[in-house]
């Protein structure tokens, strides 16, 4: 029996032009993810079909991490021919152990002479006649047999595996993810990707105060996010001089506020330079002093770029659950320092004042320092080879 993978699209937009973009982008993303496999992919407005001689389970696993897919089905493909459908259906059912069943036919080929309801009965009675001790249960069947009758071929299947849903990565354009080594930001990146945003990442390091291990940890996190989007670019900013200038010249209570204003300024410039339409980060309201609404307002004031905070209203426990699901948690909790945690003041303001922040900032020649940091930026393309970042 010839097996085929059938893909049902995720949350499709109803606009026609968007639908085409959605399908084309999903198609390209799937092709890229399956580049090491021998596959033939065909698509139409409601389904995508993947034929392969390679291991189907491996391919299904990869597909289940691709945003924009509602569900994945492994089906048996037959010609749209009544006798053939009957015979194959019976062959399949005989191999399955069940007591109750239901047949669900979907007839998108209106030329097919038997209506869906009637065909359910035709197939149902064949099974009842040929398999002992089974009966129909339309409410809660053990075996739900689905038959999809299309133009040339008919697909017979049982289980549907849920996909990630969301939109194909890229349909929403590009965004710059502020990626630290913590738990939150990789989760924020994942949620943004699921909304169709293609990401690049920016990481601020402060060597020698932050170590090479801290940087490798971030690279490893990027390689985990590569499960969803291939070949993510990581921009590394050397933040040492700016942090030292802040440490030496700024009222300790405002150090974090000013440091984050600098991060936002640099992120905005890097986003512009790389055609990113928004900045994404892992801030969550109330989590720490720099994430009160007042702090966010004072920090956000340096940019008019949209700042997307997918976790703004998430509880930490929910964030942790997602980070476990996307397999970033174990890496995130490795104990390497982040540039935010060094030079940490004892009493960071939770309600900073914008005028004060601006006044304090005048103590440092930040524009020059920012330019220098951007000129020295390191751009790394992280490919799927995670071995390099063993920690």
Contacts with ligand ATP by CB under 6 A lie at 178-180, 182-185, 202-204, 281-283, 287-288, 290, 338-340
Q: Is 379 helix (H, G, I), strand (E, B) or coil?
A: strand
**Nearest-10 Cα torsion for 317, 322, 326, 332:** -30
Residue 110: DSSP 8-state: T
Q: CB of 365: closest distance to ligand ATP in angstroms? A: 22
Asked if 281 touches Mg ion (CB under 5 A), the answer is: no
b/e sequence 141-174, b meaning 16+ C-beta within 10 Å:
bebbbbbbbbeebbbbbbebeebbebbbbbbbeb
Q: Given the complex with ligand ATP, which of 105 and 328 has the nearer CB atom?
A: 328
Q: Given the complex with Mg ion, which of 218 and 298 has the nearer CB atom?
A: 218
Asked if 186 touches Mg ion (CB under 5 A), the answer is: no
Residues near 74 by Cβ (< 8 Å), separated by ≥ 6?
3, 4, 5, 6, 56, 60, 157, 159
Q: Given the complex with ligand ATP, which of 144 and 201 has the nearer CB atom?
A: 201
Q: Given the complex with ligand ATP, which of 74 and 262 has the nearer CB atom?
A: 262
Q: Given the complex with ligand ATP, which of 12 and 380 has the nearer CB atom?
A: 380
Q: CB of 288: closest distance to Mg ion in angstroms? A: 9
Reference 250, options 352, 113, 333, 177; nearest CA is 352
H-run or E-run covering 76 = strand 69-79
Reference 46, options 94, 89, 18, 10; nearest CA is 10
Q: Which stretch binds Mg ion (CB under 5 A): 31-39, 174-182, 196-204, 316-324?
A: 174-182
Q: Which stretch binds Mg ion (CB under 5 A): 79-87, 161-169, 258-266, 330-338?
A: 330-338
Q: CB of 358: closest distance to Mg ion in angstroms? A: 25
CA 230 to the chain's CA centroid: 11
Binding mask 336-375 for Mg ion (x = CB under 5 A): --x-------------------------------------
- Residue 229 binds which entry of ligand ATP, Mg ion, none, with Cβ cut-offs from 5 to 8 Å by kind? none
Binds Mg ion (CB under 5 A): choice among 10, 124, 182, 186: 182
Q: CB of 307: closest distance to ligand ATP in angstroms? A: 10
- Residue 147 binds which entry of Mg ion, ligand ATP, none, with Cβ cut-offs from 5 to 8 Å by kind? none
Are 320 and 183 a contacting pair, CB within 8 Å? yes
Asked if 170 touches Mg ion (CB under 5 A), the answer is: no
Q: CB of 52: closest distance to Mg ion in angstroms? A: 42
Q: DSSP characters for 263-324? A: HHHHHHHHHHHTT--EEE----TTSSGGGSHHHHHHHHTT--S-EE-TTTT--HHHHHHHHH
Provide the β-strand partners of residue 167: 195
Q: CB of 182: closest distance to Mg ion in angstroms? A: 3
Which residues of the chain form contacts with Mg ion (CB under 5 A)?
180, 182, 338
């Amino acid at each position: 029996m010839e097996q085929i993978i059938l893909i049902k699209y995720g949350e499709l937009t109803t606009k026609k032009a968007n639908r085409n973009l959605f399908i084309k982008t999903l198609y390209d993303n799937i092709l890229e993810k399956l580049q090491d496999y021998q596959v033939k992919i065909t698509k139409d407005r409601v389904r995508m079909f993947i034929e392969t001689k390679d291991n189907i389970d491996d391919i299904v696993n990869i597909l289940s991490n691709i945003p924009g897919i509602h569900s994945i089905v492994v089906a048996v493909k037959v010609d749209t021919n009544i006798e053939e459908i009957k015979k194959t259906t019976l062959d399949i059912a005989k191999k399955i152990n069940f007591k109750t069943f239901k047949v669900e036919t979907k007839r998108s080929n209106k030329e097919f002479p038997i209506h869906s309801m009637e065909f359910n009965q035709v197939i149902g009675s064949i099974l009842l006649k040929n398999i002992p001790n089974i009966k129909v249960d339309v409410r809660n069947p053990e075996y739900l047999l689905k038959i999809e009758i299309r133009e040339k071929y008919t697909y017979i299947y049982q289980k549907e595996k849920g996909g990630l849903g969301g939109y194909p990565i890229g349909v929403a354009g590009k965004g710059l993810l502020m990626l630290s080594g913590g738990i939150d930001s990789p989760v924020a990146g994942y949620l943004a990707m699921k909304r169709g945003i293609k990401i690049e990442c920016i990481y601020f390091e402060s060597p020698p105060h932050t170590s090479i291990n801290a940087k490798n940890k971030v690279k490893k996190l990027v390689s985990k996010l590569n499960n969803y989007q291939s070949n993510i670019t990581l921009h590394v900013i050397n933040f040492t001089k700016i942090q030292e200038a802040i440490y030496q010249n700024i009222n300790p209570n405002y150090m974090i506020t000013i440091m984050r204003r600098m991060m936002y300024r640099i992120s905005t410039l890097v986003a512009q330079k790389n055609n990113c339409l928004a900045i994404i980060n892992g801030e969550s309201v109330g989590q720490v002093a720099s994430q009160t609404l007042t702090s966010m307002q004072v920090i956000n004031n340096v940019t008019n770029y949209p700042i997307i905070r997918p976790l703004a209203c998430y509880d930490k426990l929910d964030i942790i659950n997602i980070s476990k699901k996307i397999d970033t948690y174990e890496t995130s909790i490795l104990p390497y320092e982040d540039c935010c945690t060094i030079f940490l003041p004892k009493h960071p303001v939770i309600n900073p004042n914008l005028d004060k922040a601006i006044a304090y900032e005048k103590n440092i020649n930040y524009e020059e320092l920012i330019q220098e940091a951007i000129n020295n930026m390191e751009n790394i393309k992280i490919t799927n080879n995670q071995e390099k970042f063993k920690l």
